Amino acid sequence: MSQNLLFTNDVATALGDLVKDAAPATIHVVADENTARLVVPRLGLPAADVITIPPGDDAKNLDTLASIWAHLVENGATRSSLTVNVGGGMVTDIGGMAAATFKRGMRFINLPTTLLGAVDAAVGGKTGINFHGLKNEIGVFAPADAVIISTCFFDTLPHHELLSGYAEMIKHALLTDGREYRRLIGSDVTRIDAAEMLSMLHDSVMVKKRIVDEDPREKGLRRALNLGHTVGHALESFSHECHAPLPHGYAVAYGLLAEMI
């Protein structure tokens, strides 16, 4: 399940080259309302059909998934089409799920625009939606053709979004020999420049990639990537029931603390 991971801040060029090589019948961009407005116009895809969905994890549900399928049908998508998922983890999760199941599978590219999405959800081939109050209850393993990882959109992120992604980076660091953990603990991710952050992202994502390449369908080693998530997902689901959603990274951070006690 090895994925093509591109670490670059020249996103438009990288995406243009990937689209040219894919030569798709049609191009469809899945984005939430925020990334459709702030990011998609910067990607240089004037001929793309844009599918806009509501923002937030509450929208990662069957109704939203069905609306993406319907839009693909209405706009002439085929198995030879290409979907580009632009946004945070919610968008890459549900956009990947839509592409993986539409006409039994179409190609897709993930372009995460949040730190959390870049370091976690966009990489590894997991797609899915929430169902009956449970996180990621329905989904399939389906790797993106490529993932473009950049930091050039992080300047639009609020402080809590950066910290949310930082928690997943800490989790990856805990699965290494300790040097990366010490590096992260000594860094303030809210103040790191784009080039240094891209380097840190590369090191963090490669921890996940090595594990996923060895165990793509979570039969053994990949379960290590769930560190902090058993408790974290429970807290996250409960927070949604209470109508006070807890950011995923915060839930994972609490989960890490609980599971290490």
pLDDT in tens, 167-193: 999 999 999 888 888 888 888 888 888
**C-alpha to C-alpha distance for 207 and 149, rounded to whole angstroms:** 15
| SS3 label, residue 175 | coil
The reported pLDDT for the residue numbered 243 is 86
**C-alpha to C-alpha distance for 33 and 95, rounded to whole angstroms:** 14
Please state whether beta strands 82-87 and 129-131 pair in parallel, antiparallel, or not at all (unpaired). unpaired
For residues 47 and 120, the answer to whether their CB atoms sit within 8 Å is no
pLDDT in tens, 12-31: 999 999 999 999 999 999 99
The reported pLDDT for the residue numbered 191 is 83
The reported pLDDT for the residue numbered 135 is 86
The reported pLDDT for the residue numbered 1 is 54
Q: What's the whole-number average pLDDT of the chain?
A: 93
pLDDT in tens, 151-171: 999 988 898 999 999 999 999
pLDDT in tens, 39-93: 999 999 988 999 999 999 999 999 999 999 999 999 999 999 999 999 999 999 9
Helix (H) or strand (E) holding 218: none
The reported pLDDT for the residue numbered 12 is 96
Residue that wins the pLDDT comparison between 110 and 176: 110
For residues 31 and 51, the answer to whether their CB atoms sit within 8 Å is yes
The reported pLDDT for the residue numbered 2 is 65
Q: Which residues contact 86 (CB under 8 A, 6 or more apart)?
A: 29, 30, 31, 35, 36, 39, 40, 43, 111, 113
pLDDT surpasses 60 at 253: yes
The reported pLDDT for the residue numbered 145 is 96
The reported pLDDT for the residue numbered 46 is 87
